[in-house]
Amino acid sequence: MYRSSILQQQQQQKQQIISLNSSKLIHNNSSISLNKSSPTTSPSLLLSNSSPSSSSPCFEINIGKKQQFIFLCKLNDFNNNKKMLEININDSDKLLLIYKESFAGSEFFALQSICPNCKTPLINGVLCKSHIRCSIHGSAYNLRTGILEDSVGLNSIWTFKIHLIGTALFTELISLEKLKLLRTISNLTTINNKSLNNPIIIVGGGIAGITCIETLRHLKFSKPIVLISRENELPYDRKLISKKLFNNNNSSCFILRSREFLEKYLGVHLLLGHNVRSVRTEEKRILVEFKQKNGGGGEPTLVKALEYEELVLCLGATSKRLQGIEGSDYLEGIIHLRTLKDAQQLNNELKESPKNVAIIGSGFLGFEISSLIYPIAKSISIYGKASTPLTLLGSEVGNEIRKFIREQGVIIRQDSVLRSMGGFDRVQDLKFRDGLIAIADTVIVAIGIMPSTSILMGSGIRTNAEGYILVDEAMRTNIPNIYACGDCVNFPINGQIIQRRINLPHWQIAQYQGKIAAYSLMGISARPRLVPFLWIRLFDRHLTFSSLDPTIDVDERILRGSIAENNFVAYFLKSDKVVGVANCGPLNVAIQFMEIFKKDKIVTKAEDFKYLIKYYT
C-alpha cells in the first residue's frame, strides 16, 4: 500500500527511479522493451523466468539490490471513474487495487481481494472514505492497514506496498507470500504465566466470548483467562449452521480458532464440555461440573469451585421447544437447529434418503434452513403462526420474501397453529388447528430462542421477566466485576428516534458486545457506534438489513424492485425519517445506509436517497 500524489511521484521518477519515456510495456504477452540509452544510474528492469502467470508478469528491478516485482496495471486502467480493479496474480491469488482522489492528491491501495470472514470478493462491496465494506456482512477493513475495524469476523486482510514506475503500478513479489496465510489479530501478548490465580473467567464459547478474549489480548491484557463451555467443541461459527451442511461429518470448517491458537497464542485455559452449575457472587466463585471416569466405566460428576477476579457471562441461548404439542417430546425425526451436534443430526437425517421436511416457524432461521436443505430434500413446507413471515421486517417485506420462496417450490402456510404430531416411533404427519393434516418425515423446529440463564438463580444478578441479563452500555451487570454479552443480554440501544432496551440475538451484536466488555475490563470508556446489521440467505439471493433499531414499530415502508430481479430495496420510516433499509442485490444500499447511520445523519423521506448515499459514504 502506498500513498502519494501522482505529481509528486512523477517528479521523483525523473530524479531517482527510471525513465520510461521511450519504453514500451506490453502487458498481454508479458514482454517489455526498455530504452537502451537509459542512464547507468537508473535501475534495470528485466523479465524474470519465474513469472507466476501470463497475466501478471514478474520483473527484476535493481535498486541497490535486486528485487522481483509483479506488474499490476497501468494508470489509465482507472478510467471512466473506475475506482476498483481486481488483478489476477496467479491461478489462485488476486489483489484488489483501489484508486481514490482527495484534497491531498491521488492515492492507490493494494489489498487482499477476498474477505477472509465470508470468502466473498471485496470488489463487490462498498468503498468508503477510509475503509471498504464486505457485501455480505458489512465487515469494514481499513484501506491503509487492512485491520478489521467493524465486525463481523475475527480476521483482517493483508495490504501491499505499491510502486509507481512510469505509468504502471507494481508490487513486490515476496510480499504476496502473505496471501497464503490468515491474518489474525496483531500485537498479541505472550503469556508465560501458567498460574490460574485470580483469572478472568469467560462462561460461554460463542462469538461474544472469543471476541472478548481476542480483544483483551490485543489490548495487552496479560492476566490468566479461563474459557468454560458446556459444548465439547472448540469455539465455532454458529451462523454457518443454517447456511452450510456437514461434509462427511467434518466440523473443522466451522471452527473459529484452533486449540493451539487459543492455548498458545491467546494463553487461554480451556474447559470444554463442562457445565457451570451456579454463580456465587458474594464469594466471587462459580461452581463447575467435572466428569470423572472411574473403573466401572461411568462418569460421576465432581463439582469444583473456581474463583474469579472478573467474570464475563456469554451464556447464549437455547432453542425454544414446542409446548403442549402431542408427540413433540418423544417422536424421532424432530430437530432443533442450534448447535453443531444439531447440525450433524440434520445431516445424518437427510443424507440417508430424501425426506418430506416440515419447518415450524417462518422467521429468519426457518427460511435459511429451507434454502440450505432444498437440494437434498424431497419437499419443504414452512408453517408460520403469524399472518406474515419475518415479522421483524413487516408485512410488506415479508410478503415479498414469501413470494420469492414460493417461486422456488417451497410451500409456505401462515396462520398455521400446530395441534399434534403423529407417528409410531418417528414423526409421520402434522395436524393443525384448522384441520390440515400434512405429511412430514422430518420436522425442524425454528420458533425462536430463550436465554440460558437458569444458573443465575440466587446469584443476585438482575434479569428481566424473560430471563435476559440486564446490562448497561458498558456490558456491566448490577454486580461489580461481572459483565455479560451476547444472546443472553438485554441492553440499551441509542438511536436517533428512540432510546430503549432490547434483546437482539444476532452474530454482529454479540461480537460488538464482546469487544465492549473487553474495553470495560481494561477501563476503556470508548464505545464505537453500533448500527445493527442483519442478513439472511434466500437460495441464490442475499438480503441485508441495517437499522438504528430493528425492533421499533415504523410508520411506513417504501418498497422498490423485487427479490426475484435481485434489485429489491425497502426503506423503513419513522416520523418521516429513514430508520432502516433492507436490500437484495448488488447496489448494497443497506450497507451504504449503515455508513449514513454511523455518522448520525438524519435522512428524511423528502430527500434524494441516491444523492445522500454518494455524499455520505
pLDDT in tens, 263-289: 988 999 999 999 999 999 999 999 999
What mean pLDDT is predicted for residues 441-451? Answer: 97
| pLDDT recorded at residue 40 | 30
Q: How far is CA 418 from CA 411, 422, 434, in A?
A: 16, 12, 9
Q: Which amino acid is at 395?
A: S
The whole-model pTM stands at: 0.87
Q: How far is CA 598 from CA 128, 189, 381, 397, 525, in A?
A: 12, 31, 39, 24, 18
* Percentage above 90 pLDDT, the chain: 69
Q: Where are the domains of the chain?
A: 2-180, 334-447, 533-616
CATH number of 2-180: 2.102.10.10
Sign of the C-alpha dihedral computed for residues 108, 109, 110 and 114 taken in this order: negative
pLDDT in tens, 293-322: 654 555 668 999 999 999 999 999 999 999
Assigned CATH topology for domain 533-616: Enolase-like; domain 1 (3.30.390)
| pLDDT recorded at residue 228 | 98
Check for a shared fold between 2-180 and 533-616. no
- List, in sequence order, every residue forming a beta bridge with 200; answer none if it has no partner: 225, 310
CA distance 112 to 247: 28
pLDDT in tens, 403-432: 999 999 999 999 999 999 999 999 999 999
Q: Is the pLDDT of residue 76 over 50?
A: yes
Q: Is the pLDDT of residue 479 over 80?
A: yes
pLDDT in tens, 114-169: 999 999 999 999 999 999 999 999 999 999 999 999 989 999 999 999 998 889 99
CA distance 389 to 367: 9
Q: Is the pLDDT of residue 369 over 50?
A: yes
Which segment of 30-34, 71-75, 183-187, 439-443 scores lowest on mean pLDDT? Answer: 30-34
Contacts of 614 (CB under 8 A, 6+ apart): none
Q: Give the model's confidence band at 381: pLDDT under 50 very low, under 70 low, under 90 confident, else very high.
A: very high
CA distance 397 to 403: 10
CA distance 285 to 596: 45
CATH 3.50.50.60, applies to 334-447: yes
Question: What are residue 153's phi and psi, to 5 degrees?
Answer: 120, 170
CA distance 252 to 258: 9
Q: Is the pLDDT of residue 56 over 80?
A: no
Higher pLDDT, 28 or 442: 442
Which segment of 174-188, 389-403, 583-597 scores lowest on mean pLDDT? Answer: 174-188
Contact yes or no for 532/507 (Cβ under 8 A): no
CA distance 600 to 162: 35
pLDDT in tens, 502-526: 999 999 999 999 999 999 999 999 8
Higher pLDDT, 195 or 84: 84
Q: Is the pLDDT of residue 30 over 60?
A: no
| pLDDT recorded at residue 119 | 92
Burial of 600 from C-beta contacts in 10 A (0-12 / 13-18 / 19+): exposed
| pLDDT recorded at residue 58 | 56
pLDDT in tens, 564-613: 999 999 999 999 999 999 999 999 999 999 999 998 888 998 886 665 55
Give the number of other Cβ atoms within 10 Å of residue 119's Cβ: 9
| pLDDT recorded at residue 405 | 96
What mean pLDDT is predicted for residues 373-390? Answer: 95
CA distance 302 to 292: 7
C-alpha cell at 26: 506490453
Residues for the chain: how many in total? 617
CA distance 544 to 435: 36
Q: Give the model's confidence band at 194: pLDDT under 50 very low, under 70 low, under 90 confident, else very high.
A: low
User: Nearest CA to 174 among 30, 67, 281?
Assistant: 67
Q: Is the pLDDT of residue 175 over 90?
A: no
| pLDDT recorded at residue 21 | 28
DSSP-derived pairing of the beta strands 45-47 and 168-172:
unpaired
Q: Give the model's confidence band at 91: pLDDT under 50 very low, under 70 low, under 90 confident, else very high.
A: confident
C-alpha cell at 67: 528485487
Average pLDDT of the chain, as a whole number: 85
